[in-house]
Every structure is written in C-alpha cells, then in structure tokens.
Amino acid sequence: MKNIPPTKPSVFSDDYQSAREQFLNAAKAASATTESYIHPSAQGPDGETLSIDTAWIGPRDASSVMIMICGTHGPESFTGAAIQLDWLQSGAYLPSSSMSMLLIHAANPFGWAHCSRTTEHNVDLNRNFIDHPNKLAETGLTRSIQNILCRSTSRGPRFNHIMLSLGKLLVSTGSAKLQNEISQGQYSYSCGIGFGGHRAEWSNTSIKTILHRNLEHAEHVTIIDWHTGIGQYGEPCFLCFDEITTPEYQRAIKTWGEKIRNSNASYTSGERPEYHGLLINAARDAVKACGAKATTCVIEFGTYSNFKMLKALLIDRWLRFDAHTSRPKRKLKLKEKMLRSFYPTDTQWRANVLRHGEKIIADSLAGLHAQEVKA
C-alpha cells in the first residue's frame, strides 16, 4: 500500500445515524433529489429510524446513469458511504449534461445500525436475490460445515475446534470446494453462516423498487457495489460476475481495465466461489429489464487475510445467537474485533481507499460517457 498522506477523515463516520445525517446533508448541499425508504418494522439499537436513502444528481430523464451502492453488509457500510460522501463534497462532477448519478445509501440499514453483516432475520442480503421457490439445494457438505461453523461457548466461537475440523475437511474435499461451500450461500440453516433467507428481504424488494423507479429513461447504466474484506490491504479488488463472452463483461473491461480479469487471485484457493443471490446481479437484471445496457462491478477494499475474515464472520454469528450469557466486556471486545476486520481505523488505509475511490469513480464516469458518445 502506497504511503499517501491521510485526507478528509471527516467522511468516515463512527455509526449509522451520523453517517445518514452526513449523507443527507451533503446531498442537500449538492442540490440532489433525495428519497427515504423507511423500514416498516426494524429499528436501530436506540429505537432510531432505519432507512435506505437515495440521492439523485442530474436530470431526471438522463440517458446515462451511474449508480453507487453502499451498505449491503453492515460493518462494510462505512467505507462505501465515505466514498459516496467524498464524491458529494468534492463537487459531484458529471462529465455530461445527459448523465446522472444515483447514490443508494445503506442497502441493509439494520445490519449497519446493529453492526452485523446480516439483516434483521440473519439473512446475508448478498445471497438473498434468488428465485426462492427454486432455491439452491443442500450439498453433502452443507449440514456438516454449518455444524462446524456454529460451534461456540459463552466466550465466543470455538476458533481452534472450528479450524481443526475445517482442516480435516480440507484434506478430503480440497480448498476450492471447501471455500465454495462456506461462501456460496445456503438456504436451510437460519442460524448459520451465509444464510440467504426463505424469502425476499425488505431490503431486497426496496432496492428493486428504487431501481425500477429511477431508470425509466436510462439507456446506459454503470453500477458499483462497494464492499470491504477481499483483496490486498487498502487496495481495490474488482469482481465482475458476468460471463466473459457477454457484452456486459467486455464493457467492464473497457471501464475498469485488466484488473477485472484477476479477481480469483484474492482467494486462498485461487478460485472465486460460485456465489448465489448477489445484489449486483439482480441490479444488472433490473437494468436490462428496463431496456438499458448494464456495466456492473463489486469493488472490495482489502483488509486482512481470508483466515482472519472467516473469524470475523464467526464472531458476527456468535454475537447474534450465542453471546447472551457472555460478559458485556467480552461481547464489546469481540464486536470491536469483528468491526475492525472490515473497517480498519488505520488512517493510511482510509486515505488509500479515498484515493482509489476517486479514481474508480472518474474511470466509471468516463467509461459511461464513452458509451454515451459511441451510441
């Protein structure tokens, strides 16, 4: 990671409520049109309102639209929100009068407010966008792996026992198959890791509504879903889920370059898991359903090793289901450890994120403008 002087620390918030206020204030200052989609039942830890907020900058009948989404996974929300806020505070530049920006802030407001990767139903929102009547069936490994991952005591997940058991499975199944089983999503164990839900979550249906309401005139749409946790420390990892033979993939290459081809390198097994129910794919499909051309990418900012990130997932689950008899100090300690796995306090990491974020947005807008001119 390059040694970049820390800048604009104020765009990085400490909690959901202050991040929301910053976003809405910056959107107002940028003369954006805002909408709030209030959660009908869930509330924040202190009873505060939870909402997916949107900001639209540019003409309502824009033919080219860029969309930035943050907050799919709670502790990862802060980073994407900081990049959105940085863009708003830096002038909200758009290269064409027929182009607009749609910012979707807090896709999973419950997870953000409660510092959990999952929704109010322990659903991983990024595994929830499936045809639920035809959900992914269990494999021969699903039950055994979920049983292993859920081992815990009042002091926390039983890390040593879990890793030893996974190590034994690794010998018999191989690294790629094991990682795929843990990461792809599962739809049977609601108290487990990677649970994709039994039905569409409120966040799921709300995001689809937002997309359909705002893309009526769009012809070209570029979407970034910001995340953290995968890749080298402080560096962006580009994950494009389109087939390499499709026009969508080719547009992604033209927009973000050769890094699109190298995403597998960020996984221990050397192979990317076969994720199910991804938000980015649902957003792409919504764009195409509106008759527009989609260019999409999940962009992660690396934090720590795959091993450490798995521990963070285990802590997140433990806090939700097994921490009730734990001492308050113990819970706070593990909660902080989980949060910082996805959201480091390191000012150098944060400065690097903003630097990369600004370039990625500029490249995305330039690529979108090029599509517009070519058309």
Q: At what angle do helices 306-321 and 328-342 cross, to 10 degrees?
A: 140
What are the tokens at 34? 């805002």
Gap between the Cα atoms of 208 and 94, Å rounded: 24
Task: Give every CB contact of residue 375 below 8 A, 6+ residues apart in sequence.
Answer: 219, 220
One-letter amino acid of 264: N
One-letter amino acid of 86: D
User: In a 3-state reduction of DSSP, which class is residue 118?
Assistant: coil
One-letter amino acid of 146: Q
Gap between the Cα atoms of 228 and 75, Å rounded: 9
One pLDDT digit (tens) per residue for the chain, 375 residues: 555 554 454 899 999 999 999 999 999 999 999 999 999 999 999 999 999 999 999 999 999 999 999 999 999 999 999 999 999 999 999 999 999 999 999 999 999 999 999 999 999 999 999 999 988 888 889 999 999 999 999 999 999 999 999 999 999 998 888 888 999 999 999 999 999 999 999 999 999 999 999 999 999 999 999 999 999 999 999 999 999 999 999 999 999 999 898 765 555 556 778 899 999 999 999 999 999 999 999 999 999 998 999 999 999 999 999 999 999 999 999 999 999 999 999 999 999 999 999 999 999 999 999 998 876
Q: What are phi and psi of 197, to 5 degrees?
A: 90, 165
Cβ atoms 234, 348 nearer than 8 A: yes
Query: The whole model's pTM is what?
Result: 0.95
Cβ atoms 365, 66 nearer than 8 A: yes
Strand pairing class (33-38; 64-70): unpaired
User: In a 3-state reduction of DSSP, which class is residue 66?
Assistant: strand
* Whether CATH 3.20.20.70 fits 9-130+199-374: no
Q: Residue 36 pairs with which residues in a beta bridge?
A: 53
Domain range list for the chain: 9-130+199-374
Cβ atoms 150, 317 nearer than 8 A: yes
Which residue's entry shows tokens 């547009």?
251
Q: Residue 226 pairs with which residues in a beta bridge?
A: 299
Helix (H) or strand (E) holding 176: helix 175-183
Cα distances (angstroms) measured from residue 150 to each of 61, 153, 192: 49, 10, 7
Task: Give every CB contact of residue 262 below 8 A, 6+ residues apart in sequence.
Answer: 238
